[in-house]
A and B are shown apart, each in its own frame.
Chain A
Amino acid sequence: MAEQKNIRDEILDSIGEGLLTVDKDFKINFFNRAAEQITGFNREEVLNQFCKYVFRCELCESKCPIGLILESGSPLYDFKSSIEIKDGTRKPVKLNAAILKNESNEPIGGVISFRDLSEIESIRKDAGSAGNFFGIIGRGKAMQDIFSLVKEIADSDATVLIQGESGTGKELVANAIQATSKRKSKPFVKVNCAVFPETLLASELFGHIKGAFTDAFKDRIGRFELANEGTIFLDEVAEMPFQTQVQLLRVLQEGTFERVGESIPRKADVRVIAATNLKIDEALKRSKLREDLYYRLNVIPIFIPPLRDRREDIPYLVKSFIKEYSKAYNKEIDDIEDSALDVLMNYTWPGNVRELENVIEYLVVRAKNMTIRLENLPSGIGSSLSTEKQISEFKKENPSELLQLLEKHKWNKTKAAEELGIGRTTLWRMLKNLKND
């Protein structure tokens, strides 16, 4: 038995995530090596201590992660928070938490695993800091306007509707809105409305009472109650069933809701941020989204442009992702060939920033040199042919514009290439072709 425990402890000590377990009194009874490294505490100092005095998560006082699970019954995944470490400073962490139960299904403890996000956060901050807003890279006007709007609405509790294609970063914008709002220290609950079956979404959002439906064995609070005094992010809101849209409308209009199976109105002090990747006109026409709900949600509209409409940000995004994934995969990649960048600049990116991020991760994983080369690009991303085609079209249609642009930038080719959203090599080839003509 003791041998088994030693083996288990060795295994848990070998993992990179901090891990601690608490007993039912919330006293720490296991603390692995990574937890020691992240928090600065030795396990001898923390064993048998109340976790709130050691872990000091920013939510310990109001919304203890394990307490949230005990109340809601759902485990917590990838929950962003921060902890106070031994030297008194705070560290950003992403944590998972779950309840440990005995054979009678009674809670007898909890387990929290956590990852130190300090490095990633600092990389995100470093990467093109002027164009980095809460992890969103954007130096172009469209994104800078969004950043300004987010700052302007910091004091407001008004509902926000974020529109944008899949992969444009709607959740990141929601994060930025929450992080700059006056509710930033309060709970931030995220719900993807498309994930839940129609019958369960209302229960997930508003909770239910025992017996409300076949599987409702006990009372359960919903996400609106969990988010009380804070913010809720309703992603893919237009996928919400019509009946649930009525309930949401009532929350927005009256600030009240009822748990499923109950008739007692409950108050909801929750700021709503919603997002959709559907075209609103079509969603309204096809009756996917109630018009009255749309107007209630769309108090502050934010439209995130697709990546193909903000190509000027691609070099900065590429640079940032290279830095981030080089660090993550322990590689020393610091650049990308201009020709490879050209291809990335000219690709249409139907999956937007998410697709670009995945491509860069792929390139970093496969790269054998310090520079990403054209031949490393995945076959689906396009070829130099498309670049050449665009060059020839530009050359044919805009030779004088190109010259004017170069004049404007005093023949600084880097600046001119940036404005055109192409790499320097491409610009050089275009000039060469012009001379030939």
Chain B
Amino acid sequence: MYSEMLGNKYFLARNYDNAAKNFQYALQADPINKSAKKKLIICFTQIGQIEKAFESFYQLVKEDINFIIETDPVADDCPCAELTVKYGNILPYENESYDLKLMLAMLWLYCSAEKSLEFFKRILVENPGDPRIKEITSLIEEKIKPTNKPIH
């Protein structure tokens, strides 16, 4: 008995495995359901399916990057802040695994586009062959450029 609502319930309880199953079901029925996709990306990162998370992330960023950037961690009960803290405030240039940095690059976009950009720039250096990373980096750069905010 899968449903987006049940996915939301599991997501609120941080039960990412069951939430992912329900969001995947919801997306089969309605592939343009951005809300389910946005949460599914986080679920995939937490159940070790980084490539699946990244492919969904790439699609959603291309489709509507603001939908992720404008996430309100409190109003949306988004776990991005607790998750980035969970991994110990890793910096982009630290000698950590590629997958971990890719995961943090995605998660940071939910709460800080600047931080996310730092990670994507670093990942681009390590993996210049993936056109998706280049495209995402450009899209984030474009988004935060007009604000002239300093990069932390």
What is the bound-complex CA distance between A108 and B8, given in angstroms?
11
Enumerate the 3 nearest inter-chain pairs by beta-carbon distance, A residue then B residue, closest first: A107-B5, A67-B9, A24-B5
Are A64 and B9 neighbours in the complex by a CB distance under 8 Å? yes
B residues 28-44 near A (Cβ < 8 Å) are 29, 35
- A25 near B1 with CB under 8 A, answer no
B94 to chain A, nearest CB (A): 34
Which residue of the partner chain, among A62, A73, A99, A106, contacts B4 with CB atoms under 8 Å? A106
Which A96-110 residues have a C-beta within 8 angstroms of B?
99, 106-110
Give the residues in chain B near A107, CB-CB below 8 Å: 3-6
Closest Cβ–Cβ distance, residue A21 to chain B (whole Å): 13
- Other-chain contact of B8, A26, A61, A218 (Cβ < 8 Å): A26
Complex formed: what's the CA distance from A10 to B76 in Å? Answer: 30
Q: Which residues of chain B are near A134, meaning CB under 8 Å?
A: none
Contact at B1–A220, with CB atoms within 8 Å?
yes
Which residue among B9, B10, B13 has the maximum number of chain A CB atoms within 10 Å of its CB? Answer: B9
Q: Which residues of A contact B3 (CB under 8 A)?
A: 70, 106-107
A and B contact pairs by CB, cutoff 8 A, 22 listed: A25-B8, A26-B5, A26-B9, A26-B12, A48-B75, A62-B13, A64-B9, A64-B12, A66-B9, A67-B10, A70-B1, A70-B3, A70-B5, A71-B1, A99-B5, A106-B3, A107-B3, A107-B6, A109-B5, A110-B5, A218-B1, A219-B1
Chain B residue nearest in CB terms to A217: B1
Distance of A177 Cα from B9 Cα, bound (Å): 31
Whole-angstrom CA separation of A73 from B6 in the bound complex:
11
* A residues in contact with B9, CB < 8 Å: 26, 64, 66-67, 70
Contact pattern, A 317-337, Cβ under 8 Å of B = 1, otherwise 0: 000000000000000000000
Cα A192 to Cα B8 in complex, Å, equals: 32
Q: CA of A218 to CA of B29 in the docked complex: distance in angstroms? A: 16
Q: How many residues of chain B are within 8 Å of chain A by beta carbon? A: 14
Chain B positions within 8 Å of A26 at CB level:
5, 8-9, 12
Residues of B within 8 A of A (CB): 1, 3-6, 8-10, 12-13, 29, 35, 75, 77
Among candidates B6, B12, B77, residue contacting A71 with C-beta atoms closer than 8 Å: B6
Chain A residues lying within 8 Å of B4, measured Cβ to Cβ, are 24, 106-107
Dominant secondary structure at the B interface: helix
Residues of A within 8 A of B (CB): 24-26, 48, 50, 52, 61-62, 64, 66-67, 70-71, 73, 99, 106-110, 218-220
Whole-angstrom CA separation of A28 from B3 in the bound complex: 19
Residues of A within 8 A of B10 (CB): 67
Bound together, the chains give a CA A67 to CA B10 distance in angstroms of 8
| Nearest CB on B from A62, distance (A) | 8
Inter-chain CA distance A24–B39, complex, in Å, is 14
**Which residues of B have CB within 8 Å of A220?**
1
Given pairs A26-B12, A62-B13, A99-B5, 15 additional interface contacts (CB within 8 A): A24-B4, A25-B35, A26-B5, A48-B75, A50-B12, A67-B6, A67-B9, A67-B13, A70-B5, A70-B9, A71-B1, A73-B1, A106-B3, A107-B5, A110-B5
With A and B bound together, what is the CA distance between A64 and B9 in angstroms?
8
How many Å lie between the Cα of A66 and that of B5 in the bound state?
A: 10
The chain A residue sitting closest to B39, CB to CB, is A25
How far, in angstroms, from A61 to B15 measured CA to CA in the complex? 11
Smallest CB separation, B27 vs chain A (Å): 13
B34 → chain A closest CB, angstroms:
13
Shortest distance between the CB of B17 and any CB in chain A (Å): 14
Residues of chain B lying within 8 A (CB to CB) of residue A71: 1, 6
B11 to chain A, nearest CB (A): 9
Shortest beta-carbon distance from A49 to chain B in Å:
9
Contact between A61 and B13 (Cβ–Cβ < 8 Å)? yes
Contact across chains for B6 and A50 when beta carbons are under 8 A apart: no
Give Cα distance in the complex from A71 to B35, angstroms. 21
**Judging by beta carbons under 8 Å apart, are B6 and A70 in contact?**
yes
Q: Chain B residues near A110: list those with CB within 8 A.
A: 5
CA distance A220 to B2 in the complex (A): 11
**How far does the Cβ of A412 sit from chain B's closest Cβ, in whole Å?**
61
**A48–chain B nearest beta-carbon distance, Å:** 8
Q: Give the docked Cα–Cα distance between A413 and B35 (Å).
A: 76
Instruction: Determine if A52 and B12 form an interchain contact, defined as CB atoms under 8 angstroms apart.
Output: yes
- Complex interface: chain B residues within 8 A of A218 (CB): 1
A220 and chain B: residue at smallest CB distance? B1
**CA gap between A215 and B139 in the complex, in Å:** 50
Given contacts A70-B1, A218-B1, contact A64 B6 (CB under 8 A): no
Q: How far is the CB of A244 from chain B (nearest CB, A)?
A: 23
Contact, CB under 8 Å: B8 / A24: yes
- For B3, the closest partner residue in chain A by CB is A107
List residues of chain A with CB within 8 A of the CB of B13: 61-62, 64, 67
